[in-house]
């Protein structure tokens, strides 16, 4: 984790130095945006069915365009995830009969580097491949339905096979 923070810091410092060398001080711009869409789960309970049981999702972001090649972005996303073995055609999954649902909250910050000059709304610099480096924190609390719309928290049940700790963490950092 310390290495990730070090690389992130060095990338930002490098972006600052390189950005000043290009003398784009008058370039600064800001973007604010909304995301509306859907989220879905792929994993043990839903291994192959893309978009199956899709749930509403949304978010907001802010981007500071430091130069035509460097930007810093932060945002918040919210979504719902759910999956249910009873929706499968696989006999093993039907017999297992697991399910879950959770709300998912994500807060993130990242640096973006454009390989070519890019400017939002420009007719000349409207496209550039890019890479990004960042960090995010997210929160989830999966619940399982044990019948009659009775939902129980799954974290304390160690459904992920944890051996070294008693429960899954609600909050995580990537």
User: What is the model's pLDDT at position 149?
Assistant: 86
Q: Does 107 score more than 70 pLDDT?
A: yes
Instruction: Flag whether pLDDT at 5 surpasses 60.
Output: no
For 22, 50, 158, the CA distances from 162, given in Å and listed in that order, are: 50, 27, 6
User: What pLDDT is stored for residue 126 in this prediction?
Assistant: 87
pTM above threshold 0.75? no
For the chain, the structural domain boundaries read: 2-141
Does the pLDDT at position 170 exceed 50? yes
Per-residue pLDDT averaged across 9-17, rounded? 50
Three-state helix/strand/coil letters over 10-71: HHHHHHHHHHHHCCCHHHCEEEEEEEEEEECCCCCCCCCCCCCCCEEEEEEEEEEECCCCEE
């Amino acid at each position: 984790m310390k290495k990730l923070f070090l690389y992130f810091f060095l990338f930002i410092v490098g972006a600052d130095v390189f950005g000043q060398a290009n003398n784009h001080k008058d370039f600064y711009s800001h973007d604010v945006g909304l995301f509306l869409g859907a989220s879905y789960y792929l994993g043990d309970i839903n291994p192959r069915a893309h978009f199956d049981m899709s749930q509403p999702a949304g978010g907001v972001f802010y981007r500071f365009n430091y130069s035509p090649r460097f930007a810093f972005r932060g945002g918040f996303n919210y979504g719902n995830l759910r999956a249910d073995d009873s929706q499968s055609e696989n006999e093993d999954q039907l017999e297992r009969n697991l399910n879950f649902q959770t709300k998912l909250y994500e807060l993130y910050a990242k640096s973006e580097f454009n390989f070519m000059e890019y400017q939002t709304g420009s007719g000349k610099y409207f496209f550039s491949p890019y890479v990004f480096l960042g960090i995010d924190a997210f929160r989830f609390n999966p619940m399982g339905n044990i019948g009659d719309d009775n939902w129980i928290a799954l974290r304390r049940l160690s459904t992920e096979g944890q051996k070294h700790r008693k429960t899954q963490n609600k909050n995580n950092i990537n």
